[in-house]
Amino acid sequence: MIHNKQVKLLIALFLLTLPASAYSTDIVRYNISENFSDPKQAYYIDLLELALTASKKKYGDYQLEPVVIDMPQGRTSIMVQNNANIDVVWRMTSRSIEQQLQAVYIPILKGLMGYRVFIIRKTDQALYPQDMNKQQLQQLLAGQGLDWPDSDILRYNGFNVSTANATVLLKMLTKRRFDYFPRALHEPWIEISKQPSMTVEENLLLKYPAPMYFFVSKENTRLHQRLSYGLQKIIYSARFEDFFKHHPVTSDIIDKANIEHRTVFELTNPLLSLKTQALLENEKLWFKSIH
């Protein structure tokens, strides 16, 4: 006859042999803003959920938890680095960010952050003719966020840049503190929907390699492995491509941006790590434009 103590011991031994995914739920916390709500963030949240769901069979259940705190992305990254209330952040990469945090080396926006069109004042379109050259554009003043890698990229390529907190840039443009506001291809139409004095410039495009990654703490190896596994799984099953083509944030950008009719200025990104540079050779990971 097996006694209660023996039964408990057998159960305990059985549980020890199970993978963590058999009985645990991964809590994955991410930051959203309450006062500066950004509808574009839905793309990253939905993709995060898609990757976690794709990894569920191997890693088990998960629970996504938004942490509502208003702060710049630099501060969010520090909280992830310190395992303080937030587990994952999405942002454009650089060597310094990859030294602080563990990148999931899959470009979650397929490089789209490096295709830049401009928000301008409606009255200023004549300042940007289609035959404008790079030197002429460099004489004007671009507006960018204080902690954005793009500010350094533009300066490295000879552009004049004025920086400020991201939440006030449109107001500064209205007040003529700078001339144009470069935005990733999927961003400007959403951002100016309630800005009647603003429009998207029609003729020009900046282009540079600019991967967006999910980042986690270097100590959070489980979440890093889980997201790497889930993203790779959806990429090679074509679910990621389908997601990118049909998500409301990215679905109609090609028609809106009219890329084939724009003058393109190719820029260098000096901030890329060797590991990120190597990924540029994998065509499956990147947005394919006409240019």
At residue 178, the pLDDT reads 98
Superfamily of domain 113-207: Periplasmic binding protein-like II (3.40.190.10)
Residue 111: pLDDT over 80: yes
Q: What is the pLDDT confidence band of residue 287, given thresholds at 50, 70 and 90?
A: confident
Looking at per-residue confidence, does 72 or 26 come out higher?
26
At residue 289, the pLDDT reads 64
Q: What is the pLDDT confidence band of residue 12, given thresholds at 50, 70 and 90?
A: very low
CATH 3.40.190.10 fits 19-111+211-251, yes or no: yes
**Mean pLDDT along residues 197-222:** 97
Residue 9: pLDDT over 50: no
**Mean pLDDT along residues 56-76:** 90
- According to DSSP, residue 180 is labeled B
Are domains 19-111+211-251 and 113-207 of this chain identical in fold? yes
**CB-based burial label for 237 (10 Å; 0-12, 13-18, 19+):** exposed
Task: Return the residue matching tokens 């790079």.
Answer: 134
**Mean pLDDT along residues 113-130:** 96
Q: What is the pLDDT confidence band of residue 39, given thresholds at 50, 70 and 90?
A: confident
**Mean pLDDT along residues 98-127:** 96
Q: What is the pLDDT confidence band of residue 54, given thresholds at 50, 70 and 90?
A: very high
Instruction: Spell out the long-range contacts of 35-44 with Cβ–Cβ below 8 A and sequence spacing 24 or more.
Output: 35/70, 36/70, 36/167, 39/190, 39/249, 40/186, 40/187, 40/190, 40/249, 42/247, 42/248, 42/249, 43/109, 43/186, 43/247, 43/249, 43/250, 44/90, 44/108, 44/214
pLDDT digits (tens, 9 = 90+) for 171-206: 999 999 999 999 999 999 989 988 999 999 999 999
At residue 40, the pLDDT reads 87
Average pLDDT of the residues of the chain: 89
**Mean pLDDT along residues 77-90:** 93
% of the chain beyond a pLDDT of 70: 91
pLDDT digits (tens, 9 = 90+) for 227-255: 999 999 999 898 999 999 999 999 888 78
Domain boundaries, the chain: 19-111+211-251, 113-207
At residue 256, the pLDDT reads 85
At residue 200, the pLDDT reads 97
